[in-house]
Chains A and B, each alone.
Chain A
Amino acid sequence: MSPLQTFFAMGGYAIYVWPAYAVFFIVLIVDTIAPRLRRRRVLRELRARLARQDARQQRARPDRASVDPIITPPSL
């Protein structure tokens, strides 16, 4: 057996050692990705809410647009 094969064979315990390491990494990768997705969702919802608030203020005081021409576009 080549040194690499010996390494992967883990002295005959490959079917226990490698799944253990796989579980370790899969669980931690999921734990890393899940909050990332949640952060994106939270920011998206926040922006949508802010855009709605801005739109409501615009409707309530239409003259404000002429006074303050800088309007944040909802896509930002």
Chain B
Amino acid sequence: MSNWIPLWLHKLGSPPTFYRFAGTLRPWAMVLALLFGAVALYGGLVLAPADYQQGDAYRIIFIHVPSAWMSMFIYGVMGVAAFIALVWRIKLAEVVAMESAPIGAAFTFITLVTGSLWGKPMWGTWWTWDARLTSELVLLFLYLGVIGLYHAFEDRRQGARAAAFLAIIGIINVPIVHFSVNWWNTLHQGSTINVFGPSKISWDMLWPLLCMMLATKFYYVASLFRRVRTDLLALEGGKDWVRQIAESEAGQ
């Protein structure tokens, strides 16, 4: 019988188990994020050569593109967790969905600002209402909508359900962001990295980009776990396991 995997998952879904699990993994995720981030910065800012067309301005790619990937990836995680929360009413899924939203909003904001700072010297404008930029802005508004709706309710779990519904509807925007450069004429350049087929970038520039992608992934795990742990304490305030933690952990 190989039913220990669903059993383990079921157990992991219980707040005290996940609290401990996340508490063990979180520091490691943060260490890996800092490590990969430092290597990526050195590779991207120092080792990688200047671009033959864009000079050194292209170096914004090393934060802009990983942030843009995260803005979509986190929305995907949030959408799936929101779906699980709505269908199976699992408290942990609710918390993961709601605590993903601020991190996703942060990465979307970074994407928009760094894109703007890249656009000014390359396109001659900070902003243009083309498909890629507009859909990414809509993504930011969706994140802010989810956060706002969650906090608009007196009852947290009721708010989470309403916000989860919005998160699921908004998932339609993620493929629009991704394919916007192919579907519409745009100032924004096409995809540099292709999973299927050759990427249009030299290895010197590619490896720092991939390192930063890993760094942002690990950062998301670390940030999410810290947020989820706090949320679980707040939500389960009356329970014994929370009482033990409140009485044993000195203010950290």
- Interface set of A (CB-CB < 8 Å, partner B): 7, 10-13, 16-17, 19-21, 23-24, 27-28, 30-32, 34-36, 38-40, 42-44, 46-47, 49-50, 72, 76
Inter-chain CA distance A31–B102, complex, in Å, is: 8
Q: In the bound complex, do residue B233 and residue A42 qualify as a contact, i.e. CB atoms below 8 Å apart? A: yes
Inter-chain CA distance A7–B50, complex, in Å, is: 11
Nearest chain A CB to B240's CB is how many angstroms away? 11
Chain B residues, Cβ within 8 Å of A7: 45-46
Chain B residues, Cβ within 8 Å of A39: 226, 229-230, 233, 252
Interface of A, helix, strand, loop or mixed by DSSP: helix
**Given A43-B246, A72-B247, 13 new contacts (CB under 8 A):** A11-B55, A16-B118, A17-B57, A17-B59, A17-B117, A21-B63, A23-B114, A23-B117, A27-B106, A28-B219, A35-B226, A43-B233, A50-B247
Q: A19-B117, A20-B118, A35-B227 are in contact. Are A47 and B106 (CB under 8 A)?
A: no
Inter-chain CA distance A7–B46, complex, in Å, is: 8
Inter-chain CA distance A19–B59, complex, in Å, is: 12
B119-146 interface code vs A (CB 8 A; 1 in, 0 out) = 0110000000000000000000000000
Nearest chain A CB to B112's CB is how many angstroms away? 10
Q: In the bound complex, do residue A27 and residue B110 qualify as a contact, i.e. CB atoms below 8 Å apart? A: yes
Chain A residues, Cβ within 8 Å of B56: 10-13, 17
The verdict on B60 contacting chain A, using a C-beta distance below 8 Å, is yes
Q: A40-B251, A76-B247 are in contact. Are A35 and B114 (CB under 8 A)?
A: no
Indicate the size class of the contact surface on chain B.
35 or more
Q: In the bound complex, do residue B243 and residue A50 qualify as a contact, i.e. CB atoms below 8 Å apart? A: yes
Inter-chain CA distance A72–B103, complex, in Å, is: 38
Leading 6 A-B pairs by shortest Cβ distance:
A11-B56, A13-B57, A10-B56, A20-B114, A39-B230, A46-B246
